[in-house]
Amino acid sequence: MIPLVDLASNTAAADLASGLATLGFVELENHGLEADTMAELRTAADDFFALPAAEKHRSVHPEPLANRGFRARGSEALAYSLGEETPPDLFESFNAGTDTPAGGWTDLVQPTPWPDAVPSYRPAAQAALAEFRRLGRRLDTMLGEVLGLPELAARSVNGPDMLACIDYRPSPDGTEAVIDGQLRMGAHSDYTTYTLLLADPVPGLQIVGSDGSWVDVIPAAGNLLMNVGDLLAIWTNDAWPSTLHRVVPMALGAAERRRSVAWFHYPDPDVVVAPLPAFVDDGESRYGATRVDAHVRGKLGAPKTGEAPTSASTIADRPV
8 located within any domain: no
Number of structural domains in the chain: 1
CA distance 5 to 135: 14
7 located within any domain: no
Cα atoms in the 13 Å half-sphere on the side-chain side of 102: 9
Average pLDDT over residues 129-142: 98
313 located within any domain: no
The domain of 196 spans 29-305
CB 86 within 8 A of CB 183: yes
40 located within any domain: yes
**Pairing between strand 4-6 and 25-29?**
parallel
pLDDT at res. 98 = 96
162 located within any domain: yes
CA distance 164 to 249: 19
The answer on pLDDT for 305 being more than 60 is no
19 located within any domain: no
- Render pLDDT for 255-283 as a digit per residue (tens, 0 to 9): 999 999 999 999 999 999 999 999 997 77
- Residue 316 banded pLDDT, cuts 50, 70, 90: very low
The answer on pLDDT for 7 being more than 60 is yes
Q: In the chain, what is the straight-line distance between the N-terminal and C-terminal CA atoms, in Å?
A: 18
18 located within any domain: no
Average pLDDT over residues 152-173: 96
Helix (H, G, I), strand (E, B) or coil at 14: helix
11 located within any domain: no
The answer on pLDDT for 320 being more than 90 is no
CA distance 41 to 39: 5
141: CATH: 2.60.120.330
- Render pLDDT for 288-300 as a digit per residue (tens, 0 to 9): 999 999 999 988 7
Single out the residue of 112, 132, 104, 101 nearest to residue 38, CA to CA: 132
Instruction: Lowest mean pLDDT of 88-102, 176-190, 276-290, name the range.
Output: 276-290
